[in-house]
Structure 1
Amino acid sequence: MTVLLVALGAALGAPTRYLTDRWLQSTHGTGFPWGTFSVNVVASFVLGLVLGGPAPHAAVLAVGVGFCGSLSTWSTLAYETVRLADERARTASVMNVLVSTLAGLGAAGLGLALGAMLWA
C-alpha cells in the first residue's frame, strides 16, 4: 500500500511540474528558470503543510513523499544554475540559488506553521 500511495502522488506531481514549468517559461520568456523556482517553492510549502501536524500517514506518503517529491526538482535547479553561469549570467545564477533556497525554506516554514494550526 505504501508504494501505491507514493506512486499515486508522484503520478500527479511529475506532470504538474512539467506543465507548470513549460507554461511559466513560455509566459515569462526570460532566461531565468521561473518554472523550476515556482514548483520548488510550492512543493516546499505543501510539504511543510502536510508535516506541520499529525497528518494521516497516507497523506504524508501520497502528498508529502509522492507529490512533493516529484513536483520539486532540485537537480534541475542545479543544472539551470550551472547553465546560467556558463551563459555568463552570473548574477542570475547566484540569485537562482539564493532566492530559491531562501524562498523554499520560507515556504516550508510557513507551511509548517499553517499545518500546525490546521491539524491541531
Structure 2
Amino acid sequence: MPNPTEPIDPDVDLHVPAQRTELHLPFVALVSLGGGLGGVARYGLSLAVPGAWGLFFINVLGSFLIGMLMGIVPRPLVRAFFGVGLLGGFTTFSSYAASWSWALVVTPVCAVAAAFLGVRVTR
C-alpha cells in the first residue's frame, strides 16, 4: 500500500531512473524559458487583438500549434520547450474562464478541434 503522504503519479515510477528525466535541470530550464517567452507572446498578441476575440484566437492558434508539434517532434526536450513551455505559456485558458462571455463556451470546442486538425496536418 502506498504511503498517503507521497504524491502518486500512475504514469511515472520514480524508482526507474529512465522515468525520472522530467526532474532534470535541462527539462525544467527549457519549460521555464519557453513559458516566459510564450507569456510575452500572448501579451503582445492580446494588445493587437484585445478582449474575448483575442483570447479565442490565442487559444485556438496555440492548440493548433500544439497539435502540429505533437505530430512532428519526437525529441522530449524540444517538445518540453515548445509544447509545455512556449505554447503552454502562450495559451491562456485560465484567463478566458475568468469572465463570462461567448468565448467560455466556444473556445474549448474550437481548441480541441484545432489540436486535432494540427495533428492530422502533420501525419
Q: TM-score, normalised by structure 1?
A: 0.74
Give, in whole Å, the separation in 2 of the partners of 1:53 and 1:46.
11
Q: Which runs of 4+ in 1 moved over 3 A?
A: none
Higher CA-based Rg: 2
State the Cα distance separating 1:98 from its structure 2 match.
Answer: 2.5
| Contact preservation (8 Å) 1:21, 1:34 | no
How well do the aligned residues superpose, as a CA RMSD in angstroms?
A: 1.5
Bigger proportion of residues as helix: 1
1:96 corresponds in structure 2 to 103
Task: Identify which of 47, 53, 56 aligns with 1:22.
Answer: 47
Gaps spanning 5+ residues in structure 1: where?
26-31, 82-92
| Contact preservation (8 Å) 1:45, 1:108 | yes
State the Cα distance separating 1:110 from its structure 2 match.
Answer: 0.7
| Contact preservation (8 Å) 2:73, 2:79 | no
Gaps spanning 5+ residues in structure 2: where?
1-25
Task: Identify which of 51, 74, 77 aligns with 1:55.
Answer: 74
Q: TM-score, normalised by structure 2?
A: 0.72
Structure with more relative contact order (C-alpha pairs < 8 Å, separation 6 or more): 1
Identity among equivalent pairs (%): 32
Give, in whole Å, the separation in 2 of the partners of 1:108 and 1:49.
7
2:113 corresponds in structure 1 to 106
